[in-house]
Structure 1
């Protein structure tokens, strides 16, 4: 049975100052933490879910315990390959669906897992197709990876962008290093020795929340996907206009709040526009 690994051990440096207050997986997107949206997707294909953490691990553990998600705490950063390797006992022996924790997508992981199972391949990477030679992945007519990063391994018919969502086969898992990167330290060496890796093309939506600007766009995309002009939690107290805004649980709005993201428990006591309001600060969302 496939298990899922959500990679959340990064420091969230590009998302500061937000990640000084919350671990990146727990920043709210719409009505829930980012990690909740990812977990909802991966659970479509994998009932067993593991998340690795390093920065502010307590933020993630409290939520994960409530959701029956296993947590692998890394005292030192191990990289994407090392993170999966360290969680081996939690994941079991089969294939692993790996999903970057800062990637929000409506991709159906069941289709990706099924495609991987149908092919004699070591790993299957979800990609958005581009012209040949473009993007960080190139592949042949049958899906076999012919280029990864800047290295070529055969005739390429289509290029693509790797989306940070992939299936690592059980056989390849057995060779994962204790530290290192799945792409640079596992996939590239496998391709060099002639192993088959496949690209799986998807047109699913894809949002990276790695920067403040991307985080703001992810929240706006959440509103658009639900055709909502704004949203507030039933437990929020709203006493002013919140057009284009998202207001979290227990927040209090005492002044106009336009096109802003108000975190759970935060207070807006003076007008804000295009801002992220946390319990400690007001951050520009422009």
Structure 2
């Protein structure tokens, strides 16, 4: 059920006055603001120093993050990262719920602080079709509770708000980063390989060599090759190929960029070669993959696990 405009506005007033600090465990947060904006038609490009989770309660639009466009519709949950340029656009207007916050590191468990650091390295934090997720159901319960005639138990609002942030962040950690998230074997990256991956993801459109990458992270080519073999079971060319295809899959799902431009953005010289490599790894062509996801033949929430399984097949 879509929250009423009156409930969104009334709950925002209460939350901004009374729910500005959330204490753990396992994490504590400082809240910059809460909001429930009806008929939101968009804003100008901007950036801020904190995380901002947004939920599209009604309507359609687009979210533009670092130059890439994502479709927004009812049920979309996304998060703007610190210092990232972003804005939204909507012709008809959307009912948008949002909360902006920082984690209080000294009052949070180390693993949660590490999760925040990992989320900040994701290319995007964007999940479609979250209507029945724990995060969204908690958000709706929070609005309902805080828009009542009387708030009998303020601690209930705090607990709901705390649960909202934790469940949302957990979802983004599992699914929101999609094809760039660390998982499985990637979670055992050494510091050097994490640094290498960050460099790769920033330079996928360029030709990458093991010599260049080794120099960037201050290792010899032999040391880097050994790290890849021991920790990931990959050669340098296969690692680069996998990262290019993962990035391409994310662009196919979450943007309207045409396939030829995607092939160029992830570093392929021709769209024909890109399509061949994609199909070899994913067992489906780029065009059919995009169509399958958008027609719900491939569930958004299972996308990341689908991608990882495809990559694992390539290693066997």
Q: Report the structure, 1 or 2, having the larger helix content.
A: 2
Q: Report the structure, 1 or 2, having the larger strand content.
A: 1
Q: Normalising by the residue count of structure 2, what TM-score does the alignment of the two structures yield?
A: 0.26
Q: Normalising by the residue count of structure 1, what TM-score does the alignment of the two structures yield?
A: 0.28
